[in-house]
Amino acid sequence: MGLFGSDEAQGSYTATQLDESYTQTVDETPGVLLGIRPYKDNQGIVDGAAMLQSLHDVRTKGLRDKNISQHHSFELWFDEEKLKFYMHAADESAANKFRRRVANSYSNTQVFRVEGGDAFPQIHADDYIAGAELDLNRHYYYPIRNHQGDGFERDPYGEVTSEMLSTPETRVVVQVVFRPAKNDWTEGDAGLFSRGESVDDVAEGLRSDQVVGWLNPRTRDASKKDREAADVVEMQRGQYGFHTNMRILAVSPDKYEAESRARGVAGMFTRYYNTMTEQGFTDDPVPASERGAFIEKLHAREWEDREMILSVSELAGAAHIPNKEIETPKIDWRYSQRGGEVPADSQRSE
C-alpha cells in the first residue's frame, strides 16, 4: 500500500461450502498453542501494551540486518458456545516467555499449554465459510485509534466479542499474527512502498502550505487538523512496532450466519478509526476461490508482509486480554485468584 494511497477492498462476504473438511490437532500444530483464561480484575488494553512491549525481541541477520524475528499470534475463538482466548508461540522458548509475561502483566490470569484435542475449530465439508483480512486505510505512519490519544470510551473488544456470539453450531475466529519490526521502522526503510519518507517527513508535509488548483493556482495554509495530525504522526517515532496480519473467519451450517458474523466482526474493527489522522482498518473479504488457502494460512499461523505495522499502543487495542469492562456473555473467565493449576479441559477430546 502506498504512503498516501489506499486500496479499495474487493470481494464478497457471500459464504460458500468447501469440498473437504479441515481439522488441525495440537500435535499437528507448528509451535505451541497456549490457552488463556482471563481474570476479570486487570487493566485490559494497558496491561496488553505492557506485555507486547516486553515481547518486542527483534532478531537480525547479515550485513543488511535482515529481520528474521519469529512471529506469533493472538486469537479469539467462538467455539463450542464459548468465547476463548489463545496465544500461539513459535517455539517452546517463546511459549515459556509468553507465560512469564502474561503472569507479570495480568495477575491471576491463567495460561496453560493445550496438550490435546483441536488446535483450531473444526471445519466440516458441509459448513459455509466466509472470511476477511484487514488492512490499513492509509500508510502505517498514520496511527489508528488506540488507548492513548483519543482513546476508547470502552474496550472495543466488547463490540468485537458481542459480534462473535452466534448459534451453537457456528464458529468464529479472529487471528492477529504479529512479528517485531526493526527499531528504525519509522525511518523510511521498513516497507517496500515507503519511498524513503520518515515520520518526520510526513509530519513536515502535513504542516506545510500547499499549492492547490490548476487553472488558478493558489496557496492553501495547513489546517489546524493537518497540524494536529502532524503531531500525532510524529509521536510514532521511537515507539516499538509490530508487522501485523489480521484475519477473520466465520464457519456455520447456516449460510446467512457465516456471512453475518464475518461481515459483522470485520465491521467492528473498522471502528478503530482515528478522526485526527483519518486512519482505520479496511476489510478485504476473501474470495471464494481462495478460502481453502486462507484456512491453511490460519492453521499455519502464517505471517506475510501486508505492509501493515502497528505500534505497541495500536496493536494492544487489537490483541489483548480483556477485563470486567467486557460484559459479553459466554467468555471463558477465570474466577479463582490462585494460579498454576491446569484446567480440566486443557486436554480436549472430540
| 292: helix, strand or coil | helix
Sign of CA dihedral 62, 68, 69, 70: negative
pLDDT in tens, 13-64: 999 999 899 999 999 999 999 999 999 888 889 989 999 999 999 999 998 8
Note the helical H segments in the chain. 45-55, 92-105, 157-164, 199-207, 224-234, 255-269, 291-300, 312-318
pLDDT in tens, 257-270: 999 999 999 999 98
pLDDT value for 344: 43
| 107: helix, strand or coil | coil
CA distance 111 to 35: 6
Model confidence at 4: pLDDT above 70: no
pLDDT in tens, 102-125: 888 888 899 999 998 999 999 999
| 9: helix, strand or coil | coil
CA distance 307 to 144: 15
**φ and ψ at residue 334, rounded to 5 degrees:** -105, 130
Model confidence at 186: pLDDT above 60: yes
The answer to which of 110-124, 143-157, 210-224, 329-343 has the lowest mean pLDDT is 210-224
Pairing mode, strands 110-113 and 32-37: antiparallel
Q: Where are the domains of the chain?
A: 16-182+239-340
Q: What is the mean pLDDT of residues 297-316?
A: 96
Q: Which stretches of the chain are assigned E, i.e. beta strand?
A: 16-17, 32-37, 60-61, 66-67, 72-79, 82-89, 110-113, 128-136, 171-180, 210-212, 218-220, 241-252, 281-285, 309-311
Please state whether the predicted TM-score (pTM) of the whole model is above 0.85. yes
Q: What angle do CA 100, 101, 103 make, to 5 degrees?
A: 65
Q: What is the mean pLDDT of residues 283-291?
A: 96
List beta partners, residue 239.
none
Higher-confidence residue: 46 or 339? 46
119 burial type by CB count under 10 A (0-12 exposed, 13-18 middle, 19+ buried): buried
Per the CB < 8 A criterion, the answer to whether 144 and 246 are in contact is no
